[in-house]
């Protein structure tokens, strides 16, 4: 580097333009405008998530580098606004809401196929499959799940069996467990 970098960070609110967990990065667009902000998977993992849904609201600390503006820390993520009518109404009894009275149950992802739009997880100590729809992931602020990933789920009985209504990253669910 020819000139010393300014190591100061600035807090920014914006929206996730896109994030690809396979590539290990994505971009954020600041509400205030300016160039796209690089969001690296390691920065997201330090927040306790392995993915983030496109169009999620996000508060981050950023730093200018010789390669552009990059996120250095994730402070908060808000899931994207839900679409008009969810395809989930077809598989639930119409009772699809983030009911905070339901417990967050520890689970492990069995498999998830983003292209198919669904996957399954198992509550620890229970072999029964819990259906996880991609729309639930999106509403929860996540974009993808990896086999073996530890998460917390809120589960209801749907028309075809048990299904997740909320998916939380393991670390953030642990932080909130005393209040939920």
Separation of alpha carbons 144 and 155, rounded Å: 18
Whole-prediction pTM value? 0.61
Q: Distance (Å, rounded) from C-alpha 13 to C-alpha 30?
A: 6
Q: Mean per-residue pLDDT for 6-16? A: 88
Q: Which residues are CB-contacts of 6 (< 8 A; sequence separation ≥ 6)?
A: 63, 64
> What digits encode the pLDDT tens for the residues 54-98?
889 999 999 999 989 999 999 999 888 765 545 555 445 555 555
Domain with CATH 2.40.50.140 in the chain: 10-78, 87-176
Chosen CATH of 87-176 out of 3.90.550.10, 3.40.50.10420, 3.30.930.10, 2.40.50.140: 2.40.50.140
Kindly report the CATH number that applies to the domain delimited by 10-78.
Answer: 2.40.50.140
Mean pLDDT taken over the chain: 83
- Binned at pLDDT 50, 70 and 90, residue 178 comes out as very low
pLDDT band at 172 (very low <50, low <70, confident <90, very high): low
Contacts of residue 61, defined as CB under 8 A and 6 or more positions apart, other chains included, come to 9, 10, 11, 12, 71, 72, 73, 75
Residue with the two structure tokens 């667009």? 29
Q: Is the pLDDT of residue 24 over 70?
A: yes
Say whether pLDDT at 3 is over 50.
no
pLDDT at res. 17: 92
């Amino acid at each position: 580097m020819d000139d010393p970098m300014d190591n100061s960070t600035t807090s920014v609110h914006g929206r996730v333009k896109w994030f690809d967990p396979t590539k290990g990065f994505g971009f954020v667009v600041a509400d205030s405008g300016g160039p796209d902000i690089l969001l690296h998977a390691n920065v997201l993992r330090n927040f306790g998530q392995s993915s983030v849904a496109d169009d999620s609201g996000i508060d981050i600390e950023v730093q200018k580098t010789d390669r552009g503006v990059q996120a250095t820390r994730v402070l908060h993520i808000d899931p994207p606004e839900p679409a008009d009518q969810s395809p989930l109404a077809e598989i639930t009894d119409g009772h699809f809401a983030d009911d905070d009275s339901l417990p967050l149950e520890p689970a492990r992802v069995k498999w998830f196929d983003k292209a198919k739009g669904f996957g399954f997880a198992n509550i620890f100590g229970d072999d029964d499959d819990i259906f996880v729809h991609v729309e639930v992931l999106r509403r929860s602020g996540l974009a993808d799940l990896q086999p073996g990933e530890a998460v917390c789920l809120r589960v209801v009985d749907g028309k075809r069996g048990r299904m997740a209504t909320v998916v939380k990253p393991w670390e953030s669910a642990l932080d909130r467990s005393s209040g939920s």
